[in-house]
């Protein structure tokens, strides 16, 4: 939406196609009715974006003193993670690979997408990891920055968190309420199926590239 508004100033026709994933590549994870293992909070992304975890680090440290959970980080390298104070948080790092990406996503119960809200760059970032979480049936908490705000509108497909207190409250709520996680996961998957998947946008892309069907 922000990119579309920016492009409007040039006076050319605009067709907005959102960040998409393939439903065939992202199977809906199986969510047990009565989870027996500790909750897994997850983050997946590029090494350069690991720094944004600082925006929920205080909440994670506080949460680790009150709840038993594991933080699964999936990224190409972990050096940037070592610069963030996550004292007391049980961290499991997995090196990102296209061969294991889906496998690691399937192990997450709650997906994290923190972002800075005072940077011009983040207003135009794609919501790739948030869409990945929702497509996989993972309840998500994210900063309502850029397109994230549109996806999270009304807290129906995921929970929006701005402050460290927001992050703490949202994550504690989801850890304590598996039923809410399931509802968010179902709504999130439905949203991806209707709006944020290749299958739902392919005909629109074809019409842009080839013109309307005759």
Confidence (pLDDT) at 168:
98
Residues 40-62 pLDDT 10s: 999 999 999 999 999 999 999 99
> Cβ contacts of residue 111 below 8 Å, gap of 6+?
41, 42, 43, 44, 129, 130, 132, 133, 138, 139, 140, 141, 142
134 exposed, middle or buried (CB, 10 Å; 0-12, 13-18, 19+)? buried
Confidence (pLDDT) at 208:
87
Confidence (pLDDT) at 36:
62
Confidence (pLDDT) at 171:
98
> What is the maximum alpha-carbon separation in the chain?
63
Task: Judge contact between 52 and 114, C-beta under 8 A.
Answer: yes
d(C-alpha 203, C-alpha 40), whole Å: 37
Confidence (pLDDT) at 213:
64
Flag residues of the chain having pLDDT under 70: 1, 32-36, 212-214
Task: Judge contact between 115 and 133, C-beta under 8 A.
Answer: no
């Amino acid at each position: 939406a922000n990119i579309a508004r920016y492009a409007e100033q040039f006076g050319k026709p605009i067709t907005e196609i959102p960040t998409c994933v393939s439903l065939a590549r992202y199977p809906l994870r199986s969510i047990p009715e009565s989870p027996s293992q500790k909750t897994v909070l997850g983050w997946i992304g590029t090494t350069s974006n690991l720094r944004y975890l600082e925006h929920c680090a205080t909440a994670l440290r506080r949460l680790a003193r009150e709840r038993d959970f594991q933080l699964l980080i999936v990224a190409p390298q972990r050096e940037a993670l070592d610069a963030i104070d996550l004292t007391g948080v049980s961290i499991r790092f997995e090196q990102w690979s296209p061969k294991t990406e889906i496998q690691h996503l399937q192990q997450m119960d709650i997906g994290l997408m923190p972002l800075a809200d005072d940077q011009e760059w983040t207003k135009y970032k794609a919501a790739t990891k948030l869409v990945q979480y929702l497509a996989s049936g993972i309840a998500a908490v994210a900063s309502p920055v850029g397109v994230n705000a549109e996806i999270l509108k009304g807290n129906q497909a995921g929970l929006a968190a701005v402050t460290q207190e927001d992050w703490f409250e949202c994550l504690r709520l989801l850890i304590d309420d598996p039923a809410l996680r399931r509802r968010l996961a179902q709504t999130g998957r439905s949203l991806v199926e209707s709006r944020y998947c290749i299958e739902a946008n392919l005909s629109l892309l074809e019409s842009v590239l080839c013109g309307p069907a005759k």
